[in-house]
Chains A and B, each alone.
Chain A
Amino acid sequence: MDGARDWFEKAREIPVEERSVWLRKHCTNGDIREEVEELLRFDLDDPFLEDPLVAPADRELTCSYRVSTPSTAKSFSSRYKLLQPIGEGGFGIVYMAEQTDPVRRRVAIKLLRWNTDSKSVIARFETERQALAMMDHPNIARIYDGGVNDDGVPFFVMELVNGVPITDFCDSNQLSTADRMRLLIVVCHAVQHAHQKGIIHRDLKPSNILVSLLDGTPIPKVIDFGIAKALHGPLTDKTLFTAFQQMIGTPEYMSPEQAETSILDADTRSDVFSLGVLAYELLTGTTPFDGHALRKLGFAEIQRTIREVDPPKPSDRVSTLGDQGAFKTSKQGINHSNMYKAFRGDLDWIVMKAMEKDRNRRYSSALSLAEDIRRWLENEPVEARPPSTVYRTAKFVRKHRTKVGIALILTLATILSAVGLGFGLSERQASAERQENAKIQNLQLQKMAVLEADNNRSLRYGNAMIAANQSFRNGRRATTMELLAECPEDKRGVEWNWLSYLASDRTVTILQGSKERAQSTLAYASTDHLLYSAGVDGMLRLWRTDTNQEQQSWRVCNEAILSIQIAENDGYCILATQSGQVILWDISKGQIVESTSLTVPASIVAISTDKNSHSMSIAAGCTDGEIFVWQSGLAKAPTRFVNAVQPFKGTIQSLEFSMDCSKLLAAGKGGVTLFDTISGGVIQQYGQYWSSYAARYAHDIGQIVVFGPPIVKVDATILSNPKLIAIPSTDIIAGNYVSHDHSLVIATSDQSFRRIDLDTGNQETLGYYHGTGIQQMVAADDGRSLAMIDDSGALKILHRNAYASPTTIAAFDCEVASLAALSSSQVFALSDRGEIVAWNANREEELERHEAHTEQGFSLALSSTGEQLVSNGLDQRLNVWSIDSHEATAGYDISWGARYIAMHDDGKHLAGPMPRDITTHVDAAFDVEASRNANLAFWNLETGRIERCFAGLTNWAMKLSFSADCQMLAAATISDGAVVWRLDSNEPIHFHVESLPQVDDVIFSRDNNYLFAAYHNGQVYVWNIAEKKVVRKMICHGDQISGILLTADGSRILTSSLSDKVLRVWDWQTGQNTAEIDSGLSGVSEMQFTDNEQSLILGGRDGRINRLKIATNKPVGLSESGR
C-alpha cells in the first residue's frame, strides 16, 4: 500500500497529461498502477477537507471566520432570515435566506469571509448599485441589495438560483457539442446585456454560470455580476502580496490584461476572453492552463504564462489528452476521434480568437462571439481565421516590444536593400549587405534574449524573496533559508541581506564543543558581563561576555560537572558532579570550601544569597526526583524534601531559593512544589497536567513564572492566582526571567529565542539558533545578552546588538525632525524643539547635546568628509558645527524657501535656503538683481558665500538632493512637483504629475539617468530624466511617504511613511516590493543607513530613535556557527 502512496506522490509531480504514460512505463505492478491512476483522478484541487472543522486555536483572531457563524449572521438584519448554507467560495459562504421585507421571497445571501476592508467593498458596491438595478435579463441573477450586517461583515443579496455549474450540467446531461455551444450563445447574450448597461463581470467561470432545467429546457443564469468589482479595490493601499492573493483565485479564466495589471483593468473584452476559456472547457473538458499546475508557479510566472504562453487549440488538446480526454469528452456523447475532427477548423479558431492575448484581436463583443458560434452551428463561414504568418511575426514583436524595435528596423533594411537590387545594385553587393545585416540582426536578437532572460531572472528572484518573506513571517524558517540559498548571487540585494541576517543564527560561539571540553552548565554572575561555565573536564571557567574572552579558569575536580550556581555576591559557587559530589567553591581563593556526596547525581543545584559561607543554604535536585537541602554549609547532613501528595517523577529541572531564603521552589517532571526551607514542609504544589516544568522567581515583582507548555505567572508566596501569560505556537525548551525590563527570555523548539514583556504581554523574536538542541539557556539580568550550551557542548552567546528586533537607542519628547549618521557610533539627531543630540548607538550612550535652534529644528546634513554638520530651523538660522570640537563654527541668517538642506559631495558646498541679506553673501561679480526671485542658494561653506541661485518655484521646497555626479540638484516641492536644475543652467526642469502637485522626497539613481519622486499620494514615480517620461510607478504606502533611500548598489530603494510601521524595499527596475522591514516605530519620520548598510537608524514620529541591524559584515553563512 505504501507503494501506492509513493507512486502517487511521484506521479503528482508529472504533468497531468503525461502521468498515464509515465506510470505505465515505470510502475510494473499492475494493481498498484491501477490504484494510483484511480486515486489520481480523485486528486482534485478543491476545498475538500481543506477548510478545517475547527479553527486553529492560536490563530483565531487572524482567521476572521466569524462571518460564517449562522447565529451572528441571523441577527444582522431583521429583513433576512438565513436558512441554510448552499455554497462556499473564496470570498465567503452563500446562504439560502428568506427575505421578509419589503417582499417575502427566497434569496441567496453571500456573506464575505474577510471583513478587513468592508468599508471599501461596500463603497465600491454602492457606485455600481444604480447600474446593477438597471440590469434585467432572464439569464442574469439579480442583485437585490448589499451592505454590511450588524457585525460589520459585508453581504450581498442575490436572486436565488437553483442550478449547477454549466460545465457539470453539460457533462452530467451528456450534451452534444452543438448543444453546449447553443447554451454558450445564451450566456453570451446575457453578458452582452450587462455590457450594454455598463457592467463588466470580471470573474466569469463555470461556478458563476448556473444551469437549471425549466420544463426540460436548460436555463443558464450568470450570477455575481458586479460583485468582483466591489471585492477587488484599486491597488492603492495594497502591496503585491495581496494582489497576488487576489489573483490566484481563478487564474485559469483570467485575461492577460487582468493578470498583468489588476483585476480592475478589465473591459468588456476581458469577459469575452473568459467566455473563450469557458468555450474551451466545454469542448475539451479542461481549461487551457491546468489550474493546479498554474497555482504552483510564482506570481510573475503565472502572469507570464497567461500573458505569453499560447495554449494548444481545442482539437489538439483533445488529441493529446488521450485516455483522460476520452474520460472527459465521452460525456459529450461523441467518440474521441470524431471529436478531434469536429473541433478542428472553425471551432478551433472561434475559441482561439476569443482567447487572443491582445484584446484588440478578440471578438469586439460577447455578441460577435455569439454570432460566430451561431454561424458555425448553421454551417456558415465564420469570422474567425487562423492567424497568418504576418500576424504571427507581429505577435513575436509585440511580445518583445521595444527591444525588437531595432531588430525589426534592421529587417526592414534588409528587405529594402533587397528591393534595391532592381535599381542597379550588383548582386554581390546586395548579398554582402544582406549577410552583414543578418549578422547584426542576429547579434541584436541575442542581446535582446539576454536582456529578456535577465529581466525574467530578476522577476523570479523577486518572487522568491516575496515567498521567503511570507514563509518567514509564518514561522517556516527552514523554507525561508532554502529559498534564500537558491537565490542567484548576482540578484541579491538589501532585502536578501536583511532576511538572511534576520533568519540566521547570530549567536557567537565562544567555546566549541569537543569531547574533552564539552560544556554542560552555565550561570551569569551578578556582575555585568561575567559568565561562568563548567563541563566534562571538571574546569570552572569565567568569561567576559563583552569581549567573548575567557578571563579565568579553575580546576575544581577531575570529572564532569553537571550543574553550577553562583551565590549573590559572586564569592561562592556551588557545583554538582557526575559521581554525585556536591562542592562549595570559594571563587576568590580558587579552592574547595566543603564537599559532600550523594548516591544519585544532582541535576541541579541552588545556593542562597547569604554572604557568609557558614550560614548558606544549599539545595540539590537529583535525576531521580529527590531533593536535598543543607543548612549552614555542607558539613551537616542534608534534609530530604518530599512532596508526598504530588511527588516528582523524574529529573528536577529547576531549583531556586526565595530572596529571603525562607522558601525553595522546585520544578521538574511531575509538577512544581514550593517548600518551606526551614521545616521542609510543602507550602503548595501546582500543576500535574504537564509532564515537565521549570519555575523561576521574579523576585522584584513578587511572582513566580512557571514554564510548562503554557507559561503561567503565579503569586510568589502562595502559588495562587495563576495567570496564563502566553502560549507561543511552539514548545518552550528553556526560560529565564530578566528583572531589568520585567521580561521573560525563552528558547523554543522552533529554534528561536523570544522575549515576552511581562508588563505589556508583547512578544518579540530575539534570534535563532541552529543545531539540534539546547542543554541550558540563561539570560543576563541586565538584558544585554543570553548564553546557551547546545547539544554538542558548545558555549554560545547572543548579544543584544544582534537581536532581531529594533532597539531604541534614544528618545526625544517630540518628533525627530532630522537624522544624520557617520556610523552607528556617531548618530546625530535634530528634534522638533531645535535640539541636536549625538549618540553612540553601539553603546547606547549620549555623547553631546546642544540647543542648536531657538525654535523648531528643520534639518541636518553631514559633509561627505565627516567633518561638518549643518543644521537649519524655524529661527531662520543655518548653523555649521565641527564634529571634532562639537562647536558651532559658523552661523548665517537665512530666509524661507526650503525646509531641508543637502550637502554637495565635495564636502564644501550646500544647497539650501537663500541668505536673508543677499548682498553680504556674494562676490562683486554676482548678479544680485537676477537672483531676486530665486528660491534656493548654492552655498560655499568655506567662504560663507553663495555662488549661484535656483529659481522657478511658486512655493516651498521640501527635501533637496544632489545627483551622484553632482551635476544636478533636485527639489521635492509643495506645489511644483519635482524640480531639477542642472548646475550649469538656470532652467528648472519640472517633473509634474497631473493632480499631484506635492512631492515629499526626491532622489537620483546612481547612474544619474532616473529620478525617484515620492508624490503625496504615497506613490514613487521613476522618471527617465532625459526623456521626461515616467517609466515606473510603485504604490509604496497608503499615505504620504516620509523618505526614500537608495541602496549603495543603486538597485533598490527603501521607502518609509509617517503612518506606516514598516519600511518597504523595492527593486525599482521590476517594481517588485521585495521586503517589508518592521521599524519598531508606529511611523517613521527619518531613516539613514550606517556602517555600510549593516544598520538602519530610524527616527520616529513619537521621538524615538531606533537602530535596526539589517546585515552583518561577516558573510552570513546559512549554516554559520557552532557545528
Chain B
Amino acid sequence: MKPTTVTLLLQSAREGNEDAAQRLWTSVYDEIRRIAQRAVNDEYGQNSLQATEIAHEAYLKLSGSESLEFESRSHLLATVARAIRRLLVDRARARNADKRGGELHRVLLDDILDKVSQKQPEILDLEIALEELEKVDPRYAKLVELRFFGGMTLEESAATMKVSLRTAAGDWAFAKAWLRRRLMKGLS
C-alpha cells in the first residue's frame, strides 16, 4: 500500500482530517483491500477492475455512507461484504452496458450450466437470483452475502446473524439449492 495513495484517499473522505481516525481507517481500508484482492482473483479475469480500484471504491462507498458506526467486527465485515457485492454487481452491469451487444459476451449456455454446477455462478445472474431469494426471506440472501461475498465461515455468519449454527447450516443448504435451481431454470 502506497502511503500517498491512502493519504489522498483519506483526505477526500468525509471527516477524514483527524490523524487518529485516519489511522483507524487505514486498518479498515486494509481489510477491504484484502477482501477486494480476492474478489478480483476469483472473478476469473472477467472483471477488469484492479484490486486497489475495488478497494478505493469500497472505501469511498463505506466512508460516504450515512451510518458509519460499527457495533462490532462482524458488523464491519458484514458491511464490507455488502459493499463488495454492490461493487461487483455495479461493475459487471457497467461492463455489459459498455460493450455493444453485451449479450454476446455472455458465455454460452453450456458453459454457464457447467459453471453453475461445477464452479461459481456468473455474478449478474447470481444477483438476480439473490434479489429474488431476498423476497423469500432476507435471512437466506444475507447469509449468502456474508459467506460468498464476505468470506465468513458458517460459524461467523451464524454469530453475526444471531442464529444457531444448526439454523445457519440448514439455511445455507436451502439457499444454495434454491439459488442453484433458480440459476438452472432461469437459463434453460
Residues of A at under 8 Å CB distance from B? 1-2, 4-5, 8-9, 12, 38-40, 42-44, 46-49, 51-57, 60, 65, 68-70, 84-85, 87-88, 164, 474-476, 478-479, 684-692, 708-710, 712, 714, 719-724, 727, 729-731, 749
Candidate in A688, A714, A723, A727 with the most chain B CB atoms within 10 angstroms: A688
B65 CB to closest chain A CB, in angstroms?
A: 11
Given A51-B42, A53-B148, A710-B24; A727-B73 close (CB under 8 Å): yes
Q: Provide the B162-188 mask, 1 if CB < 8 A to any CB of A, else 0.
A: 000100001101101111110010000
A8 adjacent to B152 (CB under 8 Å):
no
Knowing A39-B178, A48-B116, A87-B118 touch, does A68 contact B69 (C-beta < 8 A)?
A: no
Inter-subunit contact B149/A52 (CB<8 Å)? yes
Hey, which chain A residues are within 8 Å of B28, CB to CB?
A: 689
Task: Determine whether B104 belongs to the interface, using a CB cutoff of 8 Å to chain A.
Answer: no
Residues of A with C-beta under 8 A to B42: 51, 53, 68
Q: Which of A56, A69, A684, A727 has the most CB of B within 10 A?
A: A56
Which residue of chain A is the closest to B62 with respect to CB atoms? A689
* Closest chain A residue, CB of each to CB of B63: A689
Q: Is chain A's binding surface mostly helix, strand, loop or mixed?
A: loop
Q: Point out which of A1, A5, A712, A722 has the most chain B C-beta atoms below 10 A from its C-beta.
A: A5
A162 shortest CB reach to chain B, Å: 12
- Residue B34 contacts which of A5, A55, A70, A686 (CB distance < 8 angstroms)? A55
Inside 8 A of A53's CB, which chain B residues have their CB? 38-39, 42-43, 84, 88, 120, 148-149, 151
In the assembly, what is the distance between CA of A999 and CA of B38, in Å? 49
Going nearest first, the 10 A-B pairs with the smallest beta carbon separation are A9-B170, A55-B38, A54-B151, A54-B35, A722-B23, A52-B151, A56-B151, A43-B177, A42-B181, A686-B20
Bits for B53-71, please: 1 = Cβ < 8 Å to A, else 0: 0000000000000001111
B177 proximity list for chain A (CB < 8 A): 8, 39-40, 42-43
Given contacts A87-B118, A476-B155, A722-B23, contact A689 B68 (CB under 8 A): yes
Contact, CB under 8 Å: B77 / A57? yes
**Nearest A residue to B172, CB-CB:** A49
Chain B interfacial residues counted at CB < 8 A: 67
Residues of A within 8 A of B147 (CB): 49, 52
Residues of the A chain whose Cβ atoms lie less than 8 Å from the Cβ of B36: 54
- The reply on B4 being an interface residue by CB < 8 A is no
Report chain A residues within 8 Å CB of B153: 56
Give the complex CA separation of A691 and B126 in angstroms.
Answer: 33
Residue from A47, A478, A729 within 8 A of B118 (CB atoms): A47
B residues in contact with A88, CB < 8 Å? 118-119
B19 touches A720 (CB 8 A): yes
A730 to B75: give the CA distance in the assembly, Å. Answer: 11
Q: Which residues of A contact B24 (CB under 8 A)?
A: 687, 689, 708, 710, 712, 722, 724
A39 near B181 (CB under 8 angstroms)? yes
A44-B117, A54-B39 known; A710 vs B27 contact (CB < 8 Å): yes
Residues of A within 8 A of B19 (CB): 720, 722
- The interface residues of chain A lying within 8 Å CB-to-CB of B70 are 689-691, 709
**B20:A9 contact, CB within 8 angstroms:** no
Take A56-B153, A731-B73 as given contacts and tell me if A8 and B15 are in contact as well, using a CB distance cutoff of 8 Å: no
Q: Are A729 and B73 in contact (CB under 8 A)?
A: yes
- Quick check: is B31 within 8 A (CB to CB) of the other chain? yes
Taking a contact as CB atoms under 8 Å apart, the answer to whether B181 and A65 are in contact is: no
* A69 touching B116, Cβ below 8 Å: no
- 15 CB contacts below 8 A, A to B, read A4-B174, A42-B177, A44-B117, A49-B120, A53-B84, A54-B36, A54-B84, A57-B34, A57-B77, A70-B45, A684-B20, A688-B21, A689-B25, A710-B24, A721-B23
A691 and B73 CA atoms in complex are apart in Å by 11
Please measure, in the bound complex, the distance between the C-alpha atom of A47 and the C-alpha atom of B81, giving whole angstroms: 20
* A685 and B19 alpha carbons, distance in the complex (Å): 10
Q: Which residues of B contact A69 (CB under 8 A)?
A: 41
Which residues of B are found within 8 Å of A691, using beta-carbon distances? 69-71
13 extra A-B contacts, CB within 8 A, seeds A12-B173, A38-B181: A1-B136, A44-B180, A46-B118, A49-B120, A49-B144, A53-B42, A53-B120, A54-B81, A54-B151, A57-B77, A685-B18, A722-B24, A731-B72
B148 and A43 within 8 A (CB): no
Whether B45 lies near A84 (C-beta < 8 A) is yes
Note all chain A residues with C-beta closer than 8 A to B74: 731
Q: Are A722 and B20 in contact (CB-based, < 8 A)?
A: yes
Interface flag for B76 (CB, 8 Å)? yes
CB of B178, distance to nearest CB on chain A (Å): 6
Closest CB in chain B relative to A111 CB, distance in Å: 12
A57 to B36 alpha-carbon distance, docked (Å): 10
For the complex, what is the distance from the CA of A2 to the CA of B153, rounded to whole Å?
24
Q: What is the CB-to-nearest-CB distance from A476 to chain B, in angstroms, rounded to a whole number? A: 6
Give Cα distance in the complex from A684 to B88, angstroms: 39
Contact between chains at B73 and A709 (CB < 8 Å): yes
A720 contacts which chain B residues (CB < 8 A)? Answer: 19-20
Residue numbers in A under 8 Å from B150 (CB-CB)? 52, 54
Query: Is B21 touching A686 in the complex (CB atoms < 8 A)?
Result: yes
CA distance in complex: A491, B31 (Å): 45
Tell me whether chain B's interface is mostly helix, strand or loop, or mixed.
Answer: helix
Across the interface, A8 reaches (CB within 8 A) one of B18, B81, B174, namely B174
Closest Cβ of chain B to A263, distance in Å, is 24
CB distance from B111 to the nearest CB of A (A): 10
Residues in chain B near residue A2, CB distance under 8 A: 137
A44 contacts across to B, CB distance below 8 A: 117, 180
The answer, among B34, B148, B181, for a CB contact under 8 Å with A60, is B34
A475–B149 alpha-carbon span in the complex (Å): 22
Residues B76 and A709 in contact, CB atoms below 8 Å apart: yes
B179 touches A49 (CB 8 A): yes
Assembled-state Cα–Cα distance A478/B25 (Å)? 34
B20 touches A687 (CB 8 A): yes
Beta-carbon nearest neighbor of A88 in chain B: B119
Shortest CB-to-CB span from B142 to chain A, Å, is: 14
User: Which of B39, B44, B148 is in CB contact (< 8 Å) with A49?
Assistant: B148
Q: Which A residues touch B165, using CB under 8 A?
A: 478-479
Report Cα–Cα, A180/B120, bound state, in Å.
29
A729: which B residues are within 8 A, CB to CB?
73, 156
CB distance from A645 to the nearest CB of B (A): 10
Instruction: Write out the residue numbers on chain B whose beta carbons fall within 8 Å of the beta carbon of A686.
Output: 18, 20-21
Query: Contacts A47-B119, A49-B179, A70-B45: A54 and B149 contacting too (C-beta < 8 A)?
Result: yes
CA distance A723 to B74 in the complex (A): 21
Query: In whole angstroms, what is the CA distance A397 to B169 when docked?
Result: 42
Closest chain-B Cβ to A844's Cβ sits at a distance in Å of 36
Q: Which residues of B contact A5 (CB under 8 A)?
A: 137, 170-171, 174
- Which A residues lie within 8 Å of B25 (CB)? 689
**Inter-chain contact A57/B151, CB cutoff 8 Å:** yes
Determine the residue in chain B with the shortest Cβ distance to A72: B41
B176 CB contacts on chain A under 8 angstroms:
43, 48-49
Q: Are A56 and B152 in contact (CB under 8 A)?
A: yes
- Contact of A690 with B34 at beta-carbon distance under 8 Å, contacts A53-B149, A57-B151 already known: no
A52 to B18 Cα, complex, angstroms: 35
Q: Are A57 and B88 in contact, with the CB atoms below 8 A?
A: no
Tell whether, in the assembled complex, residue A51 and residue B20 are in contact, meaning their CB atoms are under 8 Å apart: no
Q: How far is the CA of A47 from the CA of B184 in the complex (A)?
A: 16
Closest residue of A by beta carbon distance from B76: A709
Q: Hey, which chain A residues are within 8 Å of B180, CB to CB? A: 42, 44, 48
Closest to A670 in B: B69
Q: Which of A43, A47, A749 gathers the greatest number of chain B CB atoms within 10 Å?
A: A43
B residues near A12, Cβ cutoff 8 Å: 173
| CA gap between A421 and B72 in the complex, in Å | 86
B148 touches A52 (CB 8 A): yes
Instruction: Tell me the minimal C-beta distance from A926 to chain B in angstroms.
Output: 70
C-alpha spacing A428/B94, complex, angstroms: 96
User: Given the interface contacts A1-B137, A70-B41, A687-B20, does A42 sit within 8 Å of B184 by beta carbon?
Assistant: yes
A55 to B173, CA, bound (A): 21
Contact of B44 among A1, A85, A687, A692 (CB under 8 A): A85
Contact partners of A48 in chain B: CB under 8 A: 116-117, 119-121, 176, 180
- A730-B73 contact, Cβ under 8 Å, with A48-B180, A52-B149, A476-B155: yes
